[in-house]
Chain A
């Protein structure tokens, strides 16, 4: 893989020029007490003081709410205004951790499963992902248990790794990444040959996700196991909202007078109304069944149907959980039980 060097001053110039050229630049920004991906208008808004952001980077391709089309009703007649694909901006997403970058692979597998969701794919196609290797981690991180690593290039177009002098090793991963480097070639200099591995956080692999995949199907019928696993779960759905691979959504209408739009918005399999039929019947009527769905989807159905794992080991769900459920611990108990 081609490597270059980007000094911290050149990094500032790169971001400033991208903003100047009307790219939508989305970066980790500290807002109140939280750090999240937001559109920036100046380099100084960026922070690097995070393990992972609160929400994942998926919002760029799969926003919390997406207007699918507009409609208008007049005298019994319905007219529709299709989604404006031209309105999707060229974006550069920076500071994306390798776990998040890999999350797009899982998301894409869902949004491209036979019927292509062009809204998602166009958003992703128009986004250049500049990843940032992890030089620190915390106890919630478990990417090395789910086939990732703090310096993995998978999913990034360009991966930056910060060196001790504040400059960055640049790894050019995709053609899209190469194009961006070529467009600003004067900012990138020859690689100094610094050892990347020595700069990365050490994330212990506490389990191997293949063992979860091998075991989880045999646990499906074990109702007592899932009941116990979900005993603490309050069904708030926060885990799905912060997850870089959760794609479940609802479709709702928003109207003002005769005009409005159909909206796709995030939802969660953990919510009790998610599968409720109008008749009152609910195929997943208790939280144990809903928690089972969450884990089976990630570690059984996605591997089986889409040949990918639905978990990247970012640990966001565990950090966000108000009752301190830790998905890595749940994975380990699947292996052990």
Chain B
């Protein structure tokens, strides 16, 4: 795409739609223009602006791993105007995509370390990109543990991938649902993510923790990690703030002087603690 216009999206075709949970869908998107597919690259943690012409743009992460070439995936919950319009689309439809924007998970720095992924609800998608990225480079890391929880069994996204991770001998997966969210045949844990994490008592030594979830989960998860001995610079998360442009101009996403779109969305807990409580 030859353009000087930073607002002009790529046109992408929806190759595959999967329904991952009630109101939650995943699109596999392919570039219409082969040159765009050739020149496009991204790194794990980055996000984009997805648009339905006539409705508008919406911000979310790229949920696929950069190791899986030729397409990108996004997962969204039908919540606002744009995600409702996206939700109505079918395979073969075309949408707009701008990106990639933002910084990345520093996975090169994590070589030789244990990884502990902690996710809640619809926050697994941003983490799925980095999980698959690390699994595709499995030899670079030591133990990989994934703790994932949702309100109910139905709300767990990527169920087939959870099964795949569960069956892998080189991944330890722990799934949990909030009390009352379990079904009669549920074999996972029952309890909030921080509670289960506390029970797991993960070893902090040589371990990076990556936490994505609703604010309330994050709030109660950090102290447990601290209790387990995780240093602030060993804990990472991604922030989501309302955005329009994605590149530091529209003026919405800043937390103090920190722009989530440019300086984030990935932050260490150390960085987060230096930021004002404005997110």
Binding site for B on A (CB under 8 A): 68-69, 71, 73, 76-80, 82-83, 85, 110-111, 113-119, 220-221, 247-253, 255, 258, 260, 262, 264, 267, 269, 274-279, 281, 283-284, 289, 293, 296-297, 300-301, 304-305
Contact = CB atoms under 8 A, between A and B. Distances in A.
Contact of A82 (B5, B93, B251): B5
B140 to A, nearest CB: 30
B250 A249 contact: yes
B56 interface: yes
Nearest to A264: B7
Interface residues of B, number: 45
B202 interface: no
B7 A255 contact: no
A284 B278 contact: yes
B181 to A, nearest CB: 19
Given A83-B8, A114-B262, A275-B253, 7 more contacts: A119-B7, A220-B256, A248-B252, A249-B249, A253-B53, A262-B51, A279-B79
Contacts of A76: 90, 92-94
Contacts of B93: 76
B278 A289 contact: yes
Contacts of A293: 254
Nearest to B11: A78
Contacts of A71: 53-54, 96
Contact of A73 (B3, B7, B53, B262): B53
Contacts of A118: 4-6
Nearest to A84: B5
B57 A251 contact: yes
Given A71-B53, A76-B94, A275-B252, A251 B3 contact: no
B6 A113 contact: no
6 tightest A-B contacts by CB?
A248-B251, A255-B54, A278-B80, A115-B247, A118-B4, A68-B7
Contacts of A113: 247-249, 262
B256 A301 contact: yes
A251 B245 contact: yes
Interface string B1-45: 001111111010000000000000000000000000000000000
20 contacts: A68-B8, A78-B95, A82-B3, A111-B249, A115-B247, A119-B5, A221-B276, A247-B251, A249-B245, A252-B56, A255-B54, A258-B54, A262-B57, A267-B251, A278-B79, A278-B83, A283-B255, A296-B256, A300-B257, A305-B257
B106 interface: no
A69 B8 contact: yes
A210 to B, nearest CB: 18
Contacts of A284: 278
A169 B94 CA distance: 58
Nearest to A116: B6
A252 to B, nearest CB: 6
A248 B250 CA distance: 5
- Most chain B C-beta atoms within 10 Å of own C-beta, residue among A119, A221, A262, A293: A262
Contact of B54 (A253, A275, A297): A253
A119 B3 CA distance: 11
Nearest to A292: B278
Contacts of A80: 8-9, 11, 96
Question: What DSSP secondary structure best describes chain B's contact surface?
Answer: loop
A288 to B, nearest CB: 12
A220 B275 CA distance: 11
B12 to A, nearest CB: 9
A276 B240 CA distance: 12
A253 B55 contact: yes
B256 A68 contact: no
A85 B4 contact: yes
A262 B7 contact: yes
Contact of A247 (B54, B249, B278): B249
Contacts of B241: 275, 277, 283
- Most chain A C-beta atoms within 10 Å of own C-beta, residue among B5, B83, B93, B245: B5
Nearest to A248: B251
B6 A78 contact: no
B76 to A, nearest CB: 10
Contacts of B9: 80
A118 B2 CA distance: 13
B125 to A, nearest CB: 15
A78 B80 CA distance: 22
Nearest to B239: A283
B215 interface: yes
B244 A250 contact: yes
A78 B33 CA distance: 12
B54 A249 contact: no
Contacts of A279: 79
Nearest to B251: A248
A296 B276 CA distance: 12
B242 interface: yes
A221 B242 CA distance: 22
Contacts of B220: none
Given A68-B7, A281-B215, A73 B54 contact: yes
Contacts of B186: none
A78 B93 CA distance: 8
A82 B84 CA distance: 26
A117 B249 contact: yes
- Most chain A C-beta atoms within 10 Å of own C-beta, residue among B79, B250, B276: B250
Given A68-B8, A118-B5, A251 B244 contact: yes
Contact of B242 (A110, A114, A247, A275): A275
B267 to A, nearest CB: 15
A77 B56 CA distance: 16
